[in-house]
Structure 1
Amino acid sequence: MLRLASSFLSVPSSLPHLLALLLALLAPAASAMELGIDRLESRGFDSLKGKRVGLITNQTGVNSAGRRTREILAKAKGVNLAALFTPEHGLDGKELAGKYVANRKDPVTGVTAHSLYGPTRKPTPEMLKGLDVLIYDMQDIGVRSYTYVSTMARCMEAAGECGLEFMVLDRPNPLGGLRVEGPPVEPQWISFVGQLPVPYVHGMTCGELARMLNDRKWMSAQCKLTVVKMQGWERPMVWRDTGLPWVQTSPNIPRADSPAYYVATGIVGSLAGLETGVGGPNPFEICAGKGVNPDSFSNTIKNLGLDGVQVRPYTAGGFSGCRLVIDPKAKGDLCVLALALLVETNRASKPDLFAKSPADKLDIFWKVYGSTTIRDQLRQGTSVQKIAQAWKPGVEKFREERKPYLFY
């Protein structure tokens, strides 16, 4: 065998072929990922021919080459893009969290973009008049409190009430499809920052969530639902595994790893008196308060032993605490990390964070966390482990309940 190989290598004419083979093996693999919009386009938009389309989208609605979905549909033969609908942060994703978004004319397509983050969070019958189908194409981040799936749920409800078809163009969950963790949301705290009764991190794509919420009747009306599935996505994949470019989903989710940090500090950041990096170059990557000892605080978080999570002492601008470095594929429970950050910053705060926070901030916190019980638990000195242990039955129940709705 060695003699044969040596003889083959000695033939000069074979060298270009060997070099080409080596280059092919060493070259970075092109993305084999096809998004829902790619697959719809590859079919020639056959299911949309002759229909008046309303598209729920923003700057994240792009195909795998980065071309805007609204532009693709506007130019597709036989498709009539008649209306756009925009979520929190607006059509371009530049509006700050919680700020009302105005209606506007889209300069790309010339179509009116109706705001679903202003006087209404749900399309009105007047907005939907004359449409045949609503299409949803936006990039979610896999966390219950991120409002894009809340917009999807309310649009599905409106479609059901008005007898419209509803289509979801599926996209990857940037946290992957295996991470399911965190507190549930109690029925009385269902809101736009917690519209669906799922764990804080649900591990589903928007198409899978749409299928589940429609079948389980989580909204008051159900719609005729179609999900255009992806091709090439698997549950262990985080965003960096997809080979796709990341489009900033909102002002404080600038990078593909930002969703992991959002899980870690997004809950505690609802309370007053804390610094999480929001508004700066490293949003959600910091957890700091007044009167916190950065070294002991960081050591306490390190001692949790969460795989894939690094902690460094942080002090700036009168705040001290820790700076986080999280591997998106971290095996550690990021909601346990979030809970520990809350427990330790609350312990150092005098008075505690709940007493410091005005009513409007507390209201948001209860809605994001999904319950008021955490305040009493912290004031009674309940451990991180005991609180997190109480989440587990709900998480495991959800894992079983979601199985029939998974596409991948």
Structure 2
Amino acid sequence: MKTEGFRKRRGVVGMRRSAILLVGLAAACSAVRAEPVKLGVDVLREENFAAIEGRRIGLVVNPASVDSSLRPTAEILRETDRCKLVALFGPEHGVYGDEYAGVKVADRTDARTGLKIYSLYGSTRKPTSEMLKGLDALVFDLQDIGSRSYTYISSMRVCLLACAEAGIEFIVLDRPNPLGGRRIEGPPHVEKGFESFVSAMDVPYLHGMTMGELARSVRAREAPAYQKLRVVPMTGWRRDMVWGDTGLAWLPTSPHIPKAETCAAYAATGILGELGPISVGVGYTLPFEVVGAPGVNPEALARAMQEFWSTPKAYAQGALAERERFPQGARCPDGLRFLPKRFKPFYASFKDQPCGGVQIVIDPRRAGTLVEINFRLMEALGAPKFFTQSSVGEKTMFDKVCGSGAPRRRLAEGRDLEPMFQEWRTACAEFAEIRKPWLLYGE
């Protein structure tokens, strides 16, 4: 009996040791998975600013240009004695991030540091030779949101081309694509005649690339002789990471991108938001996360999008509101939820007017094709009216953001969207192969 008791005790001890070992192994594996993401600016500092040593530099920044501990890049470069920070350059919304979308920003002088601030969203969007005079390098450190129409990648492009013309270095401090590095979606090309600052690069609407990778594509496609591009890459970032996987804090990249989750919402509703008879939450507390207008039935629209994803015209035809038999259709993809929502914008479209619509909840790791949501919502709400009730300027901007007039024509004519979506998917799969030489973080 004593032997039996000893064996039992020894067995218990053994199991405890095994459990402790397993916990330890799990913790070790977790530690490996949780390798911190270091931004380009973090790596630059760790390497003792070797990439910019002894250089007079200009710096393209805004309030989201910080290191992983939230210290501003401008402050870091101003305080080091390894380089000389000469001037700041500001994109759309300005160096301070306090200007409204589309508003021209003037040059100024920073009151605290005395540094000259050149606007790249004012009288010019491309740095002039006078702005670059006396610089050895232009350093670019802006956080993108992953959508082609967000103008920071356009600013990067013209900065690179200006540096190529001036014969100076262009240095990109790389940052994550908040939607991850594998999501390639939406209108795949910018057609001739539709180039603009919201469609300056011929890449899919969601390109799945970082700013540094996009810079490599610009150099390869538009300035192949230019040999002074340098990308300071991140460490610890992988293509399967969305922002929530990075462990980094999000700072607003512009007034209506207040949190990381807004990046996916912008992809889902930003194109739709260019048109007149709809609010996408700009002017409310949930920019790009809600879609609606006066007179919309929230419950019916939510049901149309949630349960009849492939046939959302059920709402436009009144079938849902009248509780008639619904046309057959597939449910929306996992990772997407459409919730009934009533809201009243504080400014912008439908200011102070009660609106009905939906709130879109997105899991960026799982959700299907985000960009298609723009067009499925338009179909559900009666696509033709979006163009009959929009101004010429709004329709022009819609085309520019799409990079083509074809989506507008198809929607206005009430034609089936699925063939267009399939064309996009095929072209995006082709782009996944085209972009491989420019990638820095595997496939």
Note whether the superposition's TM-score is higher than 0.5. yes
Q: Name the SS for the 2:373 alignment partner.
A: helix
Equivalent in the alignment of 2:139: 135
Q: Deviations over 1:347-381 (max 9, x none)?
A: 4x7xx111221122222111111111122212332
Between the aligned partners of 1:192 and 1:27, the Cα distance in structure 2 is 42
Equivalent in the alignment of 2:379: 343
Pairing partner for 2:128 from 107, 111, 124: 124
Between the aligned partners of 1:221 and 1:115, the Cα distance in structure 2 is 28
Give the counterpart letter for 1:320 in structure 2. G
Between the aligned partners of 1:230 and 1:147, the Cα distance in structure 2 is 22
Give RMSD over aligned pairs: 2.7
Pairing partner for 1:190 from 184, 188, 195: 195
Equivalent in the alignment of 2:217: 212
Between the aligned partners of 1:97 and 1:286, the Cα distance in structure 2 is 19
Pairing partner for 2:438 from 398, 405, 408: 405
Q: Name the SS for the 2:340 alignment partner.
A: strand
| Number of corresponding residues | 398
Equivalent in the alignment of 1:75: 79
Q: Name the SS for the 2:361 alignment partner.
A: strand
Between the aligned partners of 1:2 and 1:83, the Cα distance in structure 2 is 74
Q: Quote how far apart the aligned CAs of 1:277 are.
A: 0.6
Report if the CA contact (8 A) 1:83-1:114 is conserved.
Answer: yes
Q: Quote how far apart the aligned CAs of 1:6 are.
A: 5.3
Q: Name the SS for the 1:259 alignment partner.
A: helix
Equivalent in the alignment of 2:340: 313
Give the counterpart letter for 2:39 in structure 1. L
Q: Deviations over 1:119-159 (max 9, x none)?
A: 10011110100001111101000100000110000000100
With the length of structure 1 as denominator, give the TM-score of the two structures: 0.91
Which segments of 5 or more consecutive residues in structure 1 lack a partner in the other structure? 12-16
Pairing partner for 1:325 from 351, 357, 361: 361
Q: Name the SS for the 2:59 alignment partner.
A: strand
Q: Name the SS for the 1:274 alignment partner.
A: coil
Bigger shift: residues 185-194 or 307-316: 307-316
Q: Deviations over 1:19-61 (max 9, x none)?
A: x979x78999976111111111111112212111011111111
Q: Quote how far apart the aligned CAs of 1:240 are.
A: 0.7
Equivalent in the alignment of 1:254: 258
Report if the CA contact (8 A) 2:269-2:371 is conserved.
Answer: no
Q: Name the SS for the 1:196 alignment partner.
A: coil
Give the counterpart letter for 1:308 in structure 2. G
Q: Name the SS for the 1:226 alignment partner.
A: strand
Give the counterpart letter for 2:424 in structure 1. W
Equivalent in the alignment of 1:14: none
Q: Name the SS for the 1:202 alignment partner.
A: coil
Report if the CA contact (8 A) 1:158-1:221 is conserved.
Answer: no
Answer yes or no: is 1:144 the counterpart of 2:157.
no
Pairing partner for 1:284 from 277, 288, 295: 288
Bigger shift: residues 2-11 or 196-205: 2-11
Task: From the superposition, tell whether residues 188 and 7 of structure 1 become closer, same or farther in structure 2 (CA, over 3 Å).
Answer: same
Between the aligned partners of 2:100 and 2:74, the Cα distance in structure 1 is 23
Q: Quote how far apart the aligned CAs of 1:314 are.
A: 2.5
Bigger shift: residues 301-310 or 263-272: 301-310
Report if the CA contact (8 A) 1:176-1:238 is conserved.
Answer: yes
Q: Quote how far apart the aligned CAs of 1:188 are.
A: 1.3
Answer yes or no: is 1:48 the counterpart of 2:48.
no
Answer yes or no: is 1:393 the counterpart of 2:426.
yes
Between the aligned partners of 2:190 and 2:354, the Cα distance in structure 1 is 34
Between the aligned partners of 1:257 and 1:276, the Cα distance in structure 2 is 15
Report if the CA contact (8 A) 2:399-2:408 is conserved.
Answer: no
Q: Deviations over 1:290-318 (max 9, x none)?
A: 44333332222112222211001233434
Equivalent in the alignment of 2:315: none
Which segments of 5 or more consecutive residues in structure 2 lack a partner in the other structure? 1-6, 310-331, 344-352
Report if the CA contact (8 A) 1:156-1:223 is conserved.
Answer: no
Answer yes or no: is 1:32 the counterpart of 2:36.
yes
Equivalent in the alignment of 1:101: 105
Give the counterpart letter for 2:438 in structure 1. Y
Percent identical: 45
With the length of structure 2 as denominator, give the TM-score of the two structures: 0.84
Equivalent in the alignment of 1:266: 270
List structure 1 segments (4+ residues) > 6 angstroms apart after TM superposition: 8-11, 24-30
Give the counterpart letter for 1:242 in structure 2. T
Q: Deviations over 1:325-354 (max 9, x none)?
A: 11121331101112101222344x7xx111
Task: From the superposition, tell whether residues 4 and 51 of structure 1 become closer, same or farther in structure 2 (CA, over 3 Å).
Answer: farther
